[in-house]
A and B are shown apart, each in its own frame.
Chain A
């Protein structure tokens, strides 16, 4: 039978929401406090969900140590304690959690091949969260 495994990780980063395509007024109107030029930060909770048939010899969808290793190497080391605006992927894209969510989905989808990537979910704060399933409907 198939199972969906979700692992939760944490990282802390700063960002500033600002678009070069908007005037100063429009940036302030669109992003409000998030447009503060000095930036601000969040403790992000990241959930990665993978799915697949359970291997009869291990009882696993994929080895958790492999998933943890991949996420530590490719995601957490990249985003932990950095200013997101300084990263190449956010020089021309605003580092909203929407954009962070789709970016992380692409990194995991391309690099982690041991199981099917179902969804990436990010809690920016306890009050708001974002989910991306590669364009598919998110399953609950």
Chain B
């Protein structure tokens, strides 16, 4: 079993707000992140896949295929978007880093044919990141 990690970046805006909370609760729980006009981050995404090395190609997965999947399933949907307004999953989920990692896992996992998805890591800043291993 060999693990392969591909890194990419995307930039997006978001804000945290739960319509079931009062304005005061939203402010208390989410603080500055509750500003309805949003704010943004340069996110770094690391996707780790694992699998046996194909003896003919020497690959766990063709990196070009992985890059294409990341582009079509993740980056085209998230890069330079306002997550709350433009990404369907975030109409009823708060676009925290936790949920971003989970949404990216859910988008990628069904597309993995050759290798197995091991971990999705999303850095919101260099000092804050979330890992998702697809555990229920």
Q: Which A residues contact B (CB, under 8 angstroms)?
A: 1-9, 49, 54, 56-61, 63-65, 139-140
Which 9 residue pairs across A and B have the least CB separation, nearest first? A59-B94, A59-B96, A8-B127, A4-B131, A3-B98, A2-B135, A54-B98, A59-B99, A1-B102
Of B18, B94, B130, the contact of A5 (CB 8 Å cutoff): B130
B98:A61 contact, CB within 8 angstroms: yes
Q: How far is the CB of A117 from chain B (nearest CB, A)?
A: 15
B132:A3 contact, CB within 8 angstroms: yes
Q: Which of B16, B95, B119, B135 has the most CB of A within 10 A?
A: B135
Whether a CB of chain A sits under 8 angstroms from the CB of B29 is: yes
> What B residues does A139 contact at CB under 8 A?
133
- Docked Cα-Cα span, A1 to B131, in Å, equals 11
Q: List 18 A-B contacts (CB under 8 A).
A: A1-B134, A3-B98, A3-B102, A4-B131, A5-B128, A5-B129, A8-B126, A54-B96, A54-B99, A58-B18, A58-B29, A58-B96, A59-B16, A59-B93, A59-B94, A59-B98, A59-B99, A64-B128
Whether a CB of chain A sits under 8 angstroms from the CB of B20 is: yes
Whether a CB of chain A sits under 8 angstroms from the CB of B82 is: no
Q: Which of B16, B31, B96, B101 has the most CB of A within 10 A?
A: B96
B94:A1 contact, CB within 8 angstroms: no
- Docked Cα-Cα span, A1 to B134, in Å, equals 7
Question: In the complex, given contacts A1-B102, A5-B130, what are 12 additional A-B residue pairs having Cβ atoms less than 8 angstroms apart?
Answer: A1-B135, A3-B132, A4-B133, A5-B128, A5-B129, A9-B127, A49-B131, A57-B21, A58-B16, A59-B16, A60-B98, A139-B133
- Docked Cα-Cα span, A114 to B129, in Å, equals 18
